[in-house]
Structure 1
Amino acid sequence: MAVQVAMNVGASGRAVNWLIALTVPMLVIVAFMPMVYRAEALDQGFSLSRVIEPVMLAGAALCALTLVSRGTELRFHTSGSGMFVLFAGFGLWAMTTALISPPSMTGLVKGAELIVVGLAALCFSTALTRPGDAMDKRAVERWCACGVLAALSLLIVSNVFLWGSLLPRLPTEGDGRLRLFLGNTHPLEGAMLLSVSIVCILTSDFRLSIKTVLLTAMAVLLLLADARGITIGLAMGIGLITLASIPNSPIKLLLLLTLGVAAIGGLVLTLALIDVERVAANLIGEDLFTLNGRLLVWKYALTIFSEYPLTGVGFFNSRYFLLGEAKFAGHAHNSVIEVLMTTGVIGGTILFCFIGAWFHVLLRTRSLMLLGLTPLFLTEGMLNPVILSPGFAMFFLMTALITAIRRYDFSRSNRAVRSRL
């Protein structure tokens, strides 16, 4: 009887842990992808979405802390905390710039949100990557995927109330381009979420049949979103995951050589036989060579940075400078330029240190999840501010980074122990 009770308590505890693990990424996503009316960028009035965002994010952080407390003590020197310190350092500096002229309450809140995103990722990864835990092999990817799928389900249902359809495709940017909306956010945010879900599902321990169904569904939704840069980045990420999954062997080397020769040969033939400029313009659109007007925004944003080189114009203050020049530009449409413009040289220095640490972790650990996300973030980061910007995307990137570090450290520690035996 006592054994049976103990087993029931253990099963109940695991069920609670699983529910919390699913809830953390789901709440982070829902925080940044509202299912209610979203205020305009310059609107200073009350908005329900502005209340929901910090509440949901705080809930995610509390759930992650609870998950840690149920299994592992969180220490400041825990494996992966160094990446969090660097990340939080940028958040603190961002909050500082928001207090410097012109002061911005929005920038102050967003800087705090960025730190909370990093804390949630640290706790989430720490709780699911415990030494000797049988769940450790793919627990992070599994629960990231489950959390994304849960959030996607909520967003699709909310579309009925927001747009009158489960999968609404609406024109954007005044060019008649139809794109899938998920909740009350820009289609690119929905496309980023779908791409992250594909990486998480692909690297999870789901059964092949389940993976196939889910990946097919996510790919169809991504096509409806019509996100060109994100799709290219995702394709490169999937390619890296595929190559890394093949064991080192002469077959892998032959495959790489074949792909390299095919790519060079295809490029030469394309340049020789096809009018690349005309074909690309027909496929991508008239905005090909202006990147949908981004070149103008980048030039203007860099001009503003030159006027505020040390501290920038303040975190999340770029909209007040750019919207007068370009009506679609609520930000600099580039991660590096956005950081330089809003947080100055100091923020830019932290950004480059973060990217350097990111690539160091990537090359050292070769984490499949991180391999899949890196091209996606770099591609989209060239077109929109996603790196070191408060949002669900940074939660998944930080989770992948910290998880990769912890697994690598545990593996190295285990090898050292075995060598001494």
Structure 2
Amino acid sequence: MVAKISIGSSLYGALAYNGEKINKEEGRLLATNKIFDNCTGKLDIARAMEDFSRYLSPHIRTEKPVIHISLNPHPDDRLTDTELEGIAREYMEKMGYGSQPYIVFKHEDIDRHHLHIVSIRVDENGRCLNNAYNFHRSKTITREMEEKYGLHKAERKRNRQDNPLRKVDISAGDVGKQVANTVKGVLATYRFQSMGEYRALLSLYNVAVEEPRGIVNGREYHGLVYSATDDAGNKVGNPFKSSRIGKGTGYEAVEARCAKSKEYIKEKKLAEMTKRTVLAALQKTFHKEEFVRLLHDKGIDTVFRFTDTGRIYGATFIDHRTGCVLNGSRMGKELSANALQEHFTLPFAGEMPIPLTLPSDNTSAMAVGDSVGEEWEYTSGLGLLSGDSSGTDAQEEAFARNLRRKKKKKNQRKI
């Protein structure tokens, strides 16, 4: 079980984030402590704010009095709501927050169900609770609870190659929820720098996204619409406006994600790792299918875009190891669509082999003229055999020297 602890200053922001999910039936309200619960399964955010305020002294000196904890059991742990509530309460007790007001939420908007706990880290006098070594203590507590309840051990740094996201399967039903979960999971997991990269990423999970534009009441409208697709990329079923999925999946949110991702990828130099892996695979093969397979084995998926004639006009690489989506041309000209198309088009593919006839010692071709014979000897020594003089092997060079000596002796005889 992995615990992630965040501290902040906005109590309303933390309550609204979790409350909206609960009220949209994307999660459940599991438990409260010293906070009123009307037992409707919904959260009255304004009422919760009032209840928390009773425990917030006007003399608070702590800049960030709010604590927001995410408890993430291993995906293979199948726990009931009662068990999850017990784990949350025990965790808060051991962390020293058992007497604090708090609310426990269960998030169900992605396949990996997890808990969020909102509380405050100051006492009724406004003094900050002891938070020394909070993160170290939290890790010790989660390890103890894994042993106590027989839970799977989950590390914070999981291998992204073991991707929990799954393709949308229209035969499984509830397509709307599948699309919503996929879009939210993708936005929470991956970094991309353009709408094209975002579109390529979603296509990997059988989701398409379009950008409708228009004018409504004199104002320009720009939104996003999501659709499920089959494995061939054909849209199936009804489309879903981003507003039905959540504010964080709309055009402005995606654009903001692109901007932040660009800075992060540049700062961490994540594109360099992907580029090295892609170039290494490219050097091993001239076949697209094998190239895609080699990268897949390394944790990178490849999305090609083809013209009607089958020519590559776009290539995007999804690196599950770093969570980055990168257009080929963004990493360099050698990985652009044109460069890849040229690489995968084998030299002389589909052409008949050119016959090569070596002249005999008594051939009459040599008698046509010295210039013809001299040209043939020169190109044989440095052109046909070598292709590139820097790569000529020892035997080829010896053969070339032998031809030059023969040519020199012939010229001496003529003189």
Fold-level similarity (TM above 0.5): no
TM-score, with normalisation over the residues of structure 2? 0.25
Task: Flag the structure with higher helix content.
Answer: 1
Task: Flag the structure with higher strand content.
Answer: 2
TM-score, with normalisation over the residues of structure 1? 0.25
Higher relative contact order, structure no. (Cα contacts within 8 Å, ≥ 6 residues apart): 1
